[in-house]
Chains A and B, each alone.
Chain A
Amino acid sequence: MDTIHPQKIAQGGPLVRFADVTKSYGDLTVLDRLNLDIEQNEMVSIIGPSGSGKTTVLRVLMTLETINDGVIYVDGEPLTHMPKGTGLEFASEKYLRDRRSKIGMVFQQFNLFPHMTALQNCVEAPMKVLGLSRDQAEDRALDLLKLVGMEEKKDHHPSRLSGGQQQRVAIARALAMRPKVMLLDEVTSALDPEVIGEVLNVIRSLNSEHSLTMIMVTHQMGFAREISDRVCFFYEGKIAEQGTPDQLFDDPQNERTKQFLHAVLDAN
């Protein structure tokens, strides 16, 4: 493989940059030379049919999976790679440990720790990873549980919370690490219809009052349209079309986008 040369990303440049990122499983290419920039404070929604690579975008950015080619930059530095001479090589686990905390992720299945209370779920990582004292970590966690409306259930274990409540705790847990970018992976897909609203409200307030940088994979077209600065339509591991919500939903240019939107909006 040729030496990869790091890109210079200027101050105030994109917070996240996917530069020609390819991810494949054997013969199956899930991300195909993807280029994507996410600006500071931007809310980007990713939509597309299943198998289009949209969840993979979040998983490789969270470093849950490695990429095969290209480089991901976060906050001006390469994330997936580390410097070697004048070029780059794939990052070691230790290098990732130093940088991964800039990214937070909320999962479709919440993935709360079932043997810990809501509060413990939010306190653990700030103490062990960021080195906060217990008091500091609990103060921070309580503020965040309040933000997501879960402070009264702080001593409950996840098994005693509804799906919507668990997901709100999971959002607080991710926020407690003060990530620079939050990844939301189909966070309402596993929820009963009547509790989806409470989770969307939390995301709304994070977006409007806290202007957090967020990348959201979603099937909730109405919500994506309402909240996003930009919507990216994925097809076969690439961005087939992207634009403001109005552009993409009202005036799609790509045939694939039109078909997808027809199919999805008909179903609703």
Chain B
Amino acid sequence: MMEWRWDFTFEILPRMLWATGNTLLAAGVGYLIAVVVGLVLMLGQRTPSRIINVLVREAVEFIRSTPLLVQLFFVFFVAPQFGIKLSAWNSAMLTIGLHFGTYLSEVYRGALEGVPKGQWEACRALNFSTAYTYRRVVLPQAFPIALPGMGNYLVGIFKETPLLATIGVAELMHTANALGAETYRYLEPYTMVGFIFLIISLPTAMGLRRLEAAVSRAQGNTHL
């Protein structure tokens, strides 16, 4: 039976915290890319051209139907054979951005469809321009609908970052693997990985719930 060693825990803590920084960076940057990619993919399905809409739709379905890990390996290991050489970090950001961008595009689409048709008609009856209708009426109402889904994918991306260890991004999991290999102690590193994920995920999820409630209140909903 292996015993927990606090001295070892404190010894590896600085490296684990440094790796936590990398994990947060990967999740944060990956999320920002996904948020923007999602917007582009959503708009790409609402163009006047039916051909473009169908192509983007199929691409979204394709990415959504294949595992993140396979996509990651494809970008990092296979793409170089076709002359596209990306660093581990760049491969990771590209893959996370694209993969979760497809999910976020669905969140946006659902949110836009959640704005009642009558709101569009009222805007037309008041002679608003299309741009103004989006900016002042539709998007402010779509945002609270999209917020829970957007929040879920923020936490979701964070929790998928250990996959990046497989291509050598020096995030938490990768660092725990390395520490285990160096010291033959796995209990403390992996326990710390789990614990660090927990103490970041839980407050983030709680903060997101509060943000949702605050946005809803600011929009004039009193029943929440």
Chain A residues in the interface with B (C-beta under 8 A):
62-64, 97, 100-101, 103-105, 107, 109, 111-117, 124-125, 128-129, 157-160, 173-174, 177
Q: Which of B127, B219, B221 contacts A97 (CB 8 A)?
A: B127
Q: Flag B164-179 by CB within 8 Å of A: 1 or 0 each.
A: 0000000000000000
Q: Count of B residues near A, CB < 8 Å?
A: 21
Chain B residues in the interface with A (C-beta under 8 A):
116, 118-119, 121-122, 124-129, 132, 136-137, 140-141, 219-223
* A107 in contact with B221 (CB, 8 Å): no
Q: Which residues of A contact B223 (CB under 8 A)?
A: 159
A48 nearest CB across to chain B (Å)? 22
With both beta carbons as reference points, the residue of chain A lying nearest to B215 in the complex is identified as A115
Q: Which residues of B contact A173 (CB under 8 A)?
A: 126
B131 nearest CB across to chain A (Å)? 11
Q: Which residues of B contact A174 (CB under 8 A)?
A: 125-126
CA distance A113 to B140 in the complex (A): 10
B145 nearest CB across to chain A (Å)? 12
CA distance A109 to B122 in the complex (A): 10
A119 nearest CB across to chain B (Å)? 12
Q: Which of A115, A117, A157, A177 contacts B126 (CB 8 A)?
A: A177
Q: What are 7 residue pairs bridging A and B, where the CB atoms are less than 8 Å apart in the complex? A: A107-B121, A112-B122, A113-B122, A125-B128, A129-B127, A158-B220, A160-B222
A160 nearest CB across to chain B (Å)? 6
Q: Which residues of B contact A125 (CB under 8 A)?
A: 126-128
CA distance A101 to B118 in the complex (A): 18
* B124 in contact with A63 (CB, 8 Å): yes
Q: Which residues of A contact B118 (CB under 8 A)?
A: 107, 109, 111
Q: Which of A104, A109, A129, A159 contacts B220 (CB 8 A)?
A: A159
Q: Which of A64, A112, A117, A124 contacts B124 (CB 8 A)?
A: A64
CA distance A189 to B57 in the complex (A): 40
CA distance A173 to B125 in the complex (A): 11
Q: List 11 other contacts, CB 8 Å, given A63-B124, A115-B140, A157-B221.
A: A100-B124, A113-B122, A114-B141, A117-B220, A125-B128, A128-B132, A129-B128, A157-B219, A160-B222, A174-B126, A177-B127
CA distance A87 to B129 in the complex (A): 28
Q: Which of B122, B126, B141 contacts A129 (CB 8 A)?
A: B126
Sort A-B residue pairs by CB-CB distance and give the 7 closest, nearest first: A157-B220, A125-B126, A111-B122, A111-B118, A105-B125, A115-B219, A129-B127
* B124 in contact with A62 (CB, 8 Å): yes
* B124 in contact with A115 (CB, 8 Å): no
Q: Which residues of B contact A160 (CB under 8 A)?
A: 220, 222
* B140 in contact with A97 (CB, 8 Å): no
Q: Which residues of B contact A64 (CB under 8 A)?
A: 121, 124-125
CA distance A73 to B100 in the complex (A): 51
CA distance A113 to B124 in the complex (A): 13
Select the residue from B116, B126, B219 with max chain A CB neighbours within 10 A: B126
